[in-house]
Structure 1
Amino acid sequence: MSNYSMNISGNIGLEDYSNIFDYLKIIDKDDNFIIKINKRNRKDIDVINSMLQDNKFIINYTEYDSNGNYYINANRNKWKWLNRKISLIIYFSI
């Protein structure tokens, strides 16, 4: 099992989205992926959710913590990926 993380600060540009897509593609069975985004932009959260869905992830839950961080927990669609389960937690700072 591998752990992957990405910390994005400031505005998210096209290159950042490309990097996120690249990371989503390399995540394998039982790998963990954490993204932390220090951003106050709801649009970025929606885009990340779309990226997850496009890459066959299922979002298990989302929540805000007391500091304004937004969390998404997701796994790869086990039917599409032959029971390969991937934990994914994404942190956003709102």
Structure 2
Amino acid sequence: MASSDPLHRAGLPRQGPPSALVAPVLGLAAVGALVVIPLVLMAAIPLVLASVLVVGGALAVGLSLWATVEALAAFERWLETDRRFQR
């Protein structure tokens, strides 16, 4: 019967658990990942917040410019129709 172990299928003998030198390194890598991943995620929070503020600021400026143009257009229409400003 053929073995389902990928190491046996590749022609490599299975050697059991990692050696005494490799196990601490793997453990430290796991602990490091548990520390590094949350730190990276926490570092992304200010970047996301800054992006949201920049987009919100650009939207506010755009809406303010649009409202100013509309107000000036309404003021112009009022000046044209008010009889106090007619000659």
* Structure with more of its chain in strand, by fraction: 1
Q: Which structure ranks higher in relative contact order (CA pairs < 8 Å, sequence separation ≥ 6)?
A: 1
TM norm structure 2: 0.22
* Structure with more of its chain in helix, by fraction: 2
Query: Which structure is larger by alpha-carbon Rg, 1 or 2?
Result: 2
TM norm structure 1: 0.21
